[in-house]
């Protein structure tokens, strides 16, 4: 992903609300599944973690991207944004 593409995705992510919120514990298979479903339907997903979460948002972002094959876009505070192209046919795909 180029820096211009990442910049465009950051601009799109400004208006997003977190689709998935990670609680106090670590990354569980059910949370990963929820993130995968959100990526399938939206391509660009903002994920939040509670302040009481034991793992930092950067670590969570790296784990999620490694597990799902997604691209990290932004990681600030306790939120991060990831992108993955979806093969779903009836959505508006993000075009660079």
CATH number of the domain enclosing 13: 3.30.110.60
pTM over 0.85: yes
Residue 78 lies in a domain: yes
Listed residue (43, 30, 52, 32) closest to 81, CA to CA: 43
Residue 15 lies in a domain: yes
Residue 37 lies in a domain: yes
Q: How many domains does the chain have?
A: 1
Residue 92 lies in a domain: no
Instruction: Give the model confidence (pLDDT) of 28-76 as tens digits.
Output: 999 999 999 999 999 999 999 999 998 999 999 999 999 999 999 999 9
- At 25, the pLDDT band (50, 70, 90 cuts) reads confident
Q: Which helix (H) or strand (E) holds 80?
A: strand 79-83
Q: Which domain holds residue 75?
A: 3-83
Please tell me which residue, 93 or 82, carries the higher pLDDT value.
82
Residue 88 lies in a domain: no
pLDDT at residue 92, rounded to an integer: 86
pLDDT at 96 over 80: no
Residue 77 lies in a domain: yes
Residue 76 lies in a domain: yes
């Amino acid at each position: 992903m180029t820096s211009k593409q990442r910049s465009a995705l950051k601009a799109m992510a400004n208006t997003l609300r977190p689709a998935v919120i990670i609680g106090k514990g670590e990354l569980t298979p059910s949370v990963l599944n929820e993130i995968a479903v959100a990526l399938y339907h939206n391509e660009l997903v903002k994920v939040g973690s509670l302040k009481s979460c034991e793992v930092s948002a950067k670590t969570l972002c790296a784990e999620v991207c490694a597990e799902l094959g997604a691209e990290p876009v932004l990681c600030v505070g306790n939120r991060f944004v990831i992108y993955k192209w979806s093969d779903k046919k009836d959505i508006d795909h993000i075009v660079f």
